[in-house]
């Protein structure tokens, strides 16, 4: 009877629902930081332990041992495109982020296993990348913090900060290749039916001086949708950059005879300046001034192009015209540009 009763009570215990757990604050709260670098989306998912009066480095976090760079689950680093870490390649993906602190340089580890509990089952054979990084002193930080510093289109620094130590990790991306890869992908969709998108891709390649043969083909695709001045002048500039001067001159002459608004002319002229082709910019803005002599932006653009081409006298003349025609809010900047051109 005693045995039967014991078995019955055990069965009841197994059948009983689990007790509800009420929500309380975590000792190491969850956090996430995200950053865009060019078109690359970066993220770090982690938990934030506190110092709470403890000795962190060398004691709570022992030197020479793999640490999860946080609390609870391992920290996760994410990147939407291939990047470099301290100059070494890391492919797009999600990675378990671990470190090995020492009294000197630390080892930063990106593991192909992104979802684990801490570093207890860490296996070095599953590493995607290891890099050595030197820590630096920092003001006291009570809770562990990740942040992104010094962000540009192609670089960023991921910083781990806890207690009085920071670990700065340099990240980089080939933003030109990422943008062009993204553009070519978009041009397989609805964007393929717009002349502007093909021209935009060609102009970006021209500015970065890469994939110029592809860029010529993209201007042809743009013209196939609709022939425009803007795409034609882009094509001429690309041919010039390829060393095909005769074809470039012929294409430019034809382009400068095509219909264009003042906005299209000014946009094309500024594109040529961005591409480092002031002679082309001068030709475009001269057309703009000819067709729209009362537009202050046309004179300002021509002045900027002439200054880039080394014609300070011509630049000063057109800055003066722009100042006469411009609204009051624009005159101070134009007068400053005139002074830089030597017009005072």
How would you class 15 by CB atoms within 10 Å of its CB: exposed for 0-12, middle for 13-18, buried for 19 or more? Answer: exposed
- 186 and 332 both lie in a single domain: yes
Question: Under 8 Å CB-to-CB from 123, ≥6 apart: which residues?
Answer: 111, 113
DSSP 8-state class, residue 341: T
Domain boundary among 120, 150, 173: 173
C-alpha torsion 286→291→295→297, nearest 10: -30
Q: Mean of the pLDDT values across residues 212-239?
A: 95
Please check the confidence at residue 136 and state whether its pLDDT lies above 80: yes
Domain that holds residue 304: 176-340
Note whether residue 14 is domain-resident: no
* Angle formed at CA 64 by CA 59 and CA 69, multiple of 5 degrees: 70
Coil, strand or helix: which one is 89? strand
- Report percent pLDDT > 70 for the chain: 94
Q: Mean of the pLDDT values across residues 324-339?
A: 91
Does the pTM of the predicted model rise above 0.85? no
User: What is the model's pLDDT at position 240?
Assistant: 93
Note whether residue 20 is domain-resident: no
Q: What is the pLDDT of residues 162-193, one digit of tens each?
A: 999 999 999 999 999 999 999 999 999 999 99
CA distance from start to end of the chain: 112
Q: What is the DSSP string of 174-209?
A: -HHHHHHHHHHHHTTTGGGG-HHHHHHHHHHHHHHT
Q: What is the pLDDT of residues 28-69, one digit of tens each?
A: 899 999 999 999 999 999 999 999 999 999 999 999 999 999
Coil, strand or helix: which one is 342? coil
- 70 and 134 both lie in a single domain: yes
- 169 and 281 both lie in a single domain: no
User: How many domains is the chain partitioned into structurally?
Assistant: 2
- 222 and 168 both lie in a single domain: no
- 147 and 182 both lie in a single domain: no
Note whether residue 139 is domain-resident: yes
Lateral strand order in the sheet of 75-79: 30-37, 40-47, 75-79, 93-100, 106-111, 127-133
Q: Where does the pLDDT of residue 70 fall: very low under 50, low under 70, confident under 90, or very high at 90 and above?
A: very high
- 158 and 184 both lie in a single domain: no
- 282 and 161 both lie in a single domain: no
Note whether residue 7 is domain-resident: no
Domain boundary among 149, 173, 197: 173
Q: What is the pLDDT of residues 76-103, one digit of tens each?
A: 999 999 999 999 999 999 999 999 999 9
Coil, strand or helix: which one is 90? strand
Note whether residue 15 is domain-resident: no
User: What is the model's pLDDT at position 43?
Assistant: 98
**b/e map of 20-53 (b: 16 or more CB within 10 Å)?**
eeeeeeeeeeebeeebebbebebbbbbbbbbbee
- 153 and 185 both lie in a single domain: no
Domain boundary among 123, 146, 173: 173
Q: Domain with 328 in it: what CATH number?
A: 1.25.40.10
Q: What is the pLDDT of residues 261-307, one digit of tens each?
A: 999 999 999 989 998 999 999 999 999 999 999 999 999 999 999 99
User: What is the model's pLDDT at position 342?
Assistant: 72
Q: What is the pLDDT of residues 245-267, one digit of tens each?
A: 999 999 999 999 999 999 999 99
- CA-based radius of gyration for the chain: 30
Note whether residue 328 is domain-resident: yes
Q: Mean of the pLDDT values across residues 143-157?
A: 97
Residue written as token pair 């010039």 = 240
Note whether residue 17 is domain-resident: no
- 70 and 156 both lie in a single domain: yes
- 153 and 243 both lie in a single domain: no
Please check the confidence at residue 7 and state whether its pLDDT lies above 80: no
Note whether residue 4 is domain-resident: no
User: What is the model's pLDDT at position 278?
Assistant: 93
- 39 and 62 both lie in a single domain: yes
- 211 and 325 both lie in a single domain: yes
């Amino acid at each position: 009877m005693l045995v039967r009763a014991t078995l019955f009570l055990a069965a009841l215990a197994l059948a009983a629902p689990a007790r509800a757990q009420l929500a309380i604050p975590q000792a190491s709260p969850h956090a996430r930081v995200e950053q865009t670098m060019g078109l690359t989306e970066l993220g770090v998912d982690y938990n934030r332990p506190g110092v709470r009066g403890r000795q962190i480095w060398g004691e709570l976090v022992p030197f020479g041992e793999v640490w999860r760079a946080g609390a609870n689950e391992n920290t996760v680093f994410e990147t939407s495109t291939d990047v470099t870490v301290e100059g070494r390649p890391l492919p797009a993906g999600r990675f378990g982020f671990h470190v090995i602190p020492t009294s000197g340089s630390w080892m930063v580890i990106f593991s192909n296993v992104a979802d684990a509990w801490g570093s207890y089952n860490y296996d070095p054979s599953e590493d995607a990348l290891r890099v050595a990084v030197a820590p630096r002193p920092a003001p006291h930080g009570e809770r562990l913090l990740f942040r992104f510093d010094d962000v540009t289109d192609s670089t960023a620094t991921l910083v781990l900060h806890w207690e009085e130590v920071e670990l700065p990790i340099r990240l980089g991306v080939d933003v030109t290749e990422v943008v062009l890869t993204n553009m070519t992908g978009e041009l397989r969709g609805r964007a393929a039916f717009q002349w502007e998108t093909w021209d935009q891709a060609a102009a970006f390649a021209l500015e970065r001086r890469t994939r110029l043969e592809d860029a010529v083909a993209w201007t042809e695709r743009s013209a196939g949708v609709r022939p425009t001045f803007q795409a034609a002048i882009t094509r001429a500039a690309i041919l010039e950059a390829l060393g095909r001067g005769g074809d470039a001159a012929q294409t430019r002459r034809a382009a400068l005879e095509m219909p264009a608004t003042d906005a299209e002319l000014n946009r094309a002229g500024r594109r040529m300046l961005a591409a480092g082709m002031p002679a082309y910019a001068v030709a475009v803005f001269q057309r703009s001034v000819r067709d729209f002599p009362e537009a202050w932006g046309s004179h300002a653009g021509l002045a900027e192009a002439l200054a880039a081409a080394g014609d300070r006298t011509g630049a000063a003349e057109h800055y003066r015209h722009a100042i006469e025609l411009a609204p009051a809010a624009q005159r101070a900047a134009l007068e400053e540009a005139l002074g830089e051109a030597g017009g005072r």
